[in-house]
Structure 1
Amino acid sequence: MNESVLSAYGFQPKQVSLERIGTGLINHTWKVFLEDQVFILQKINEEVFSSPDDIAYNLSLVADYLKRSHPAYNFVAPVASQQGNSIVHKEGEGYYRLFPFVSGSHSKNTVETTCQAYEAARQFGKFTRLLSGFDAKQLRITIPSFHDLEFRYRDFTAALNRGSSTRIRESRELAHLLLSKSSIVERFKEIKNDPAFRIRVTHHDTKISNVLFDATGKGICVIDLDTLMPGYFISDLGDMMRTYLSPVSEEEKDTDNIVVRDDFYQAIVEGYLEEMKDELTDAEKGAFFYSGIFMTYMQALRFLTDYLQNDLYYQPSYPGHNLVRARNQCVLLQRMIEKEKVFSI
């Protein structure tokens, strides 16, 4: 890292020490130690976020609103540089931003208990609730069509026609399964045309690692707001279901290990409704089960599309990695669908 990045915040390189942290696939993150102070430094991945200034703009708007309307909320806002900027650009290095480290906090990479699932869902619900008076349409789009299922489905069908012929043959059975579930796309179209489904401030990346916990296991706040954009609540709730319900991740090769845990579903629902029960319309509450189907189906489409296109987006760690990921998500989708009569709110 260029020393000028640290100097932009008034830090002398000899005064600080850096520790690489996190398992994120998008941004690079370091813990910065300066005497008795600790910070978190992130480098933004410009291949994913083509306009980093839009991220800074969104965070500034939300930070100002929360400071005025809900000053008690622990919003982790970027630290201003010596020039007063919330994001620092260094030619040849990229875009960086610095955050204060929340004392006594920790994050988790996997959901181990129903209490953790409940706390995470409550924190994401609380964040959306506190911003219910904020006009989400003010936010800039940091990743175009990120959770647009129609767009992802069109990409998938195009890849079936123009992708690698060898890979198309290899994944024919999986592709047929996803094509047979196109009613999930039709339901999304209905939601987009239904005024009962509000456009809200949506996090769009609700994995457990984006929640800070205190020493007792209680949630403190949500973090990593690069994908903060206007959206539907099904994106946040659905991604929690996709990543919390199964004890194994999307990297699991043995599909026998992919199961859906009923008690974790109930924990997510209870935690989210603890904050959002008075905010959601009846129509939105009726889409709770669908939200998990929506996000899991979309992720299966994205993994298989990328595989057919010779791994342009998700970098593989071994041959066929994205095919394994797609198969994993298809199995999870099937397991979820089997639970439709069990899951209700």
Structure 2
Amino acid sequence: MAKLKVGLIGAGGIATAVHIPAYKKASEQVEIVALADVAYGRAQLVAKENNIPNVYDSYQSMLESVELDAVSVCVPNKFHKEATIAALDAGCHVLCEKPPAMNQEEAKQMEQAALKSRKLLMYGFHYRYQSETQAAKRFIDAGELGNIYSGRVQAIRRRGIPGWGVFTNKELQGGGPLIDIGVHMLDTALYLMGYPEPAVVLGQTHQQIGTKKGVGLLGDWDYKNYTIEDMAVGMITFKNGASLVLESAFAANVEKRDTMQVSLMGDQGGADIFPLKMYQEKHDTLIDLTPAYLPEVNAHETEIHAFITDCVEGNISDRFAKQGTSIQKIIDGLYQSAETGKAVNL
């Protein structure tokens, strides 16, 4: 069977640390044949280090010049939509890094392009592929938690403002911790809840720490050009009656260095996901269930291998694209609510 020919749009950290190593580990199925980045010198260096034969200074040139089966989009959020749609229109399956886009309208256009091209559009929500998440999903699908009616997601860092990249630039990112790390825990919760349709959101954002010089546990950030929120909080209600509370922060005065957690409550049981622990009542006794010896996995690698498998086997579903639009709708609503001071009907 012919190898899947893959191209990468973007030669930054997520490409070099995650996508390229994962594709190389699947070398029996995949061949990385092209790389494009507007920082052409950077692209040439990365290509030389990884034996990638074709290098371009634009993804348009790459898509016009090389026949590709799949593309990884690894550029800042502002450029997700255009790069993804161009790759889909060129007949490629696409793995786009999270979040889907800058806003719901862009995500919807990406979804429509995927449907039109009949190609797979998948987003980089790798926490779905953690052993804890997959184990929890098996228990939930078996009915062990019953009807999940409430949850809480947290993605909170004490002083974790990124000191590199464009993470503090709202124009290029679309937002701060909500759209960068909060989206991971939000997706994990929605994935485990069956991605219910959102109804109403209420949100608030805070900018209290990032605009001042301070201790940076992830390097020094550019506090003079800091245009994102430090923290975003919100509540989401769904059309099935469920609710979800969200807290996300790059910088907050809390004890732990960082917390990434999803907690769910159902009428037959509840669960914290990271690490996985479940809570039930059985035989007139309250019990806690803790799984033993869950396999250790590289979630990024597992995610990319799942993408490869779906591409090779032709498992082309619109589920990922639709979920991307749904989560972007929630994020948009939370930011809109924070700006207007009112709840937003979705």
Q: Which has the higher strand share?
A: 2
Which structure shows the bigger proportion of residues in helix conformation?
Answer: 1
TM over 0.5: no
Give me the TM-score of the superposition, normalised by structure 2.
0.27
Superposition TM-score, scaled by structure 1 size: 0.27
